[in-house]
A and B are shown apart, each in its own frame.
Chain A
Amino acid sequence: MITENLKTNASLEASHIELGKFYFLNDKYDEAVAEFKKAIEINPSNAEAYYNIGLIKESSNLICEAKEMYQKAVNINSEYKIAKDRLAKLIGVEIKD
């Protein structure tokens, strides 16, 4: 029963992420953020959801909020390269691999 619930939750979490991306690609930023937040409610350690909210905030010229979201994504997953790159760009530092 617990395993089944976990499977359902994981699948629901992934669905919210996919739907969020769909809205984002179609310039529906509010709807996209709502979906990413639903994914975070299911799994507060979903780095991808934070990263995507960061992209939306940056696209909306809300740079401080974007930095905060990228930072959360990186805190959860320190190997999240694309989030690290975007954060570094906004902070104004250059990361060389």
Chain B
Amino acid sequence: MKGKQFAVIGLGTFGYNVALEFANKGIQVLAIDVNTEIVDRISQFVTQALVVDATDEKAMLEAGVADCDSVVISIGESIETSILATLIVKELGVKDVIVKSASAWHSKVAAKLGASTVVYPELEMSKKFVENIVTPNILEQIKLSKDYNLAEIVAPKYVWGKTIKDSNIRNNYGINIIAIRKHVPIINDDGQSDIKEEINMVPGPSDEINQNDVLVVIGSEESLAKIKKDKE
């Protein structure tokens, strides 16, 4: 990652924070927007901040966009501008182009233009949001492949006090426990009660599962749905 240079075009809420995160990680980042005020605001944090019209190929070339290894295009206000900027960045020869999409059609067009990654934060967030409400015992879920997910589930009552081996989770559900997370009560340096998180990253067959433990598991969507249903 060292020495890699990124550009972020479009400094709305998403783009601004992406550029800041790159800068926080010590990555060289060129931040571009048409709004002078936003560019001024971010200039103290990033390697370089420029006021450039992303639809002006010559200006983009002069700004040094072609020298970047990866370019994030996060122009949310105008899909047309975003598409044009994507086309120009590809024409400039940038291989890795990441486009923040504003709609399903925007995503399709960006992919056709050669974007290597298309992110649609609103859609992803809304799916996650609904998932969290509908399945509160599944705290977090990440898609690993088409059929398999990594999920954090609250330990079901019937496994409390049992070892992983005796819980039979693997046999009954086809789910593998890869970590166990728990909150441990503590008294902090200020003498106040607090909680700290402890994670058993390599749980063995003889490790016990307790009430309030959170199990980090890998399983098929079907298996996770079954364990969720059984818990209810």
A residues bordering B, Cβ < 8 Å? 21, 24-25, 27, 52, 55, 58-61, 82
Contacts and interface: CB of A to CB of B under 8 A. Distances in A.
B111 interface: no
A52 B193 contact: yes
A70 B212 CA distance: 19
B154 A59 contact: no
8 shortest interchain CB distances as A-B pairs: A59-B183, A61-B154, A24-B185, A25-B185, A21-B193, A60-B212, A55-B195, A59-B195
6 contacts: A24-B185, A25-B187, A55-B194, A59-B185, A59-B212, A61-B139
Nearest to B211: A60
B209 to A, nearest CB: 13
A24 B193 contact: yes
Nearest to A23: B185
Nearest to B186: A25
A7 to B, nearest CB: 23
Nearest to B184: A59
B214 interface: yes
Contacts of A59: 183, 185, 195, 212
A55 B185 CA distance: 8
Given A27-B185, A59-B185, A82 B194 contact: yes
Interface residues of A: mostly helix, strand, loop or mixed? helix
Contacts of A82: 188, 190, 192, 194
Interface in B6-62: none
Nearest to A17: B193
Interface in B128-167: 139, 154
A60 to B, nearest CB: 5
A10 B150 CA distance: 49
Interface in B157-214: 183, 185-188, 190, 192-195, 212, 214
B193 A55 contact: yes
Contacts of A60: 212
Contacts of A25: 185-187, 193
Contacts of B214: 61
A36 B139 CA distance: 27
Contacts of B188: 82
Contacts of B154: 61
Centre residue among B183, B190, B193 by max chain A CB count within 10 A: B193
Nearest to B187: A25
A69 to B, nearest CB: 13
A25 B190 CA distance: 16
